[in-house]
Amino acid sequence: MSSRFASDSGLTRRMLVTMFLLGLLYVVFVGVLIALGAQAVTVLLIAVVVLLVQYFLSDRIALFAMGGREVSPEQAPELHGMIDRLCAMADMPKPRVAIADSDVPNAFATGRNQKKSVVCVTTGILRRLEPQELEGVLAHELSHVAHRDVAVMTIASFLGILAGLMTRVALYSGLGSRRGNGQGGLPIGLIIMLVSIVVYAVSFLLTRALSRYRELAADRAGALLTQRPSAMASALVKISGDMARIPTRDLREAEPFNAFYFAPALAPGATLAGLFSTHPPLDRRLEQLSKISAQLGRG
């Protein structure tokens, strides 16, 4: 299903390459597990079931995890009205609308496709942003749904989850058994653990690289749809600055969901190398929005 959001061949290409490399890594991983024993295959089957649940129920799981609740047009008329306008401009189905009771100023979108998606904002972002700034944030989130990168990120994260699960199985159940007749060689559990660590590391780096690019793509698409890149830039600056005023405990609780959020929630003292970050640096995002503003000839 197409929309009027600006297409991004770079994002499409990166999603395809990431999925191909992760798929190749998955095949190798499965081959190693099958060669090492039936127990590993059993865990693999369980993990596949987890993936299917995560994929088909990702919107509901995310809402539950982040404390979001769906709201009706009567409960949040201004928010619904803004999303109605943006969806009409983008020519896309309207997602479900939710609000999370959190002072952390943020927003996220999730769902496997445009018809099964939800956009959620926190009470913190509703209190802090002006209407045009909030519109920019919502356009950013809706572009994630239109570009289908939410579904790709859900699938891409599966291999890391599987590798982590296999590492735990190796640690707690298989480290003592050895290959062959037990007269030498590395323990099977240790082999599984080492392979799982490598697979997790590679999948982690691939998904983080894709996550950073998709945030830039969403900034660009949202700014072009609203024709107000300066409003999105203002929202970014305001949200990033206000993070310092949020209690550390609240920020740490929000950090596991950073890959979904409009802006990362980082507790004081947290330092993430660019290679490990879910989002590009603030300066990089503002620079892109500034260039778009110059191209449009207005802010």
Round to whole Å and give the CA distance between 36 and 151: 31
The label of the residue with tokens 């600006």 reads 6
182 three-state secondary structure = coil
Catalytic member of 141, 215, 253, 255: 141
Other Cβ atoms less than 10 A from the Cβ of 295: the count is 11
Residues whose CB falls within 8 Å of the CB of residue 207, separated by 6 or more in sequence, listed in order? 18, 22, 153, 156, 157, 160, 259
Residues whose CB falls within 8 Å of the CB of residue 82, separated by 6 or more in sequence, listed in order? 131, 134, 135, 138
Active site residue 253: no
Residues whose CB falls within 8 Å of the CB of residue 41, separated by 6 or more in sequence, listed in order? 33, 34
* Number of residues written out for the chain: 299
So which residues are the catalytic ones?
141
